[in-house]
Amino acid sequence: HKLFVGGLPCEWGEDMVKELLIPFGTLKSFNLVMDKSTGKSKGYAFCEYVEDSSAEVLIKNLHMRRIGSKALTVKRAMEGSR
């Protein structure tokens, strides 16, 4: 299942976001959504783990966790999300 991770700091690049996600399992896919005009992150990403159990652990551990002034939103992505 693909996951949505929102509330990420916009100054974080792919490597920093992956550092947050990799401790929970092996990533099968990852996409940090970028603003084409600024080249910066839009503050959300989609990811998928090889093991579905990793997704549950990620949701339990990171949903509503604060990073700076924002709380992360981690949930299963809607069908058709990239």
Domains of the chain: 3-76 (3.30.70.330)
> If you average pLDDT over residues 73-78, what whole number do you get?
95
Q: Up-side HSE of residue 55: CA atoms within 13 Å toward CB?
A: 18
Task: Express each pLDDT in 24-51 by its tens digit.
Answer: 999 999 999 999 999 999 999 999 999 9
The 3-state secondary structure of the chain, one letter per residue: CCEEEECCCCCCCHHHHHHHHHHHCCEEEEEEEECCCCCCEEEEEEEEECCHHHHHHHHHHHCCCEECCEECEEEECCCCCC
CA distance 42 to 10: 6
What's the pTM?
0.91
% residues pLDDT > 90 (the chain): 90
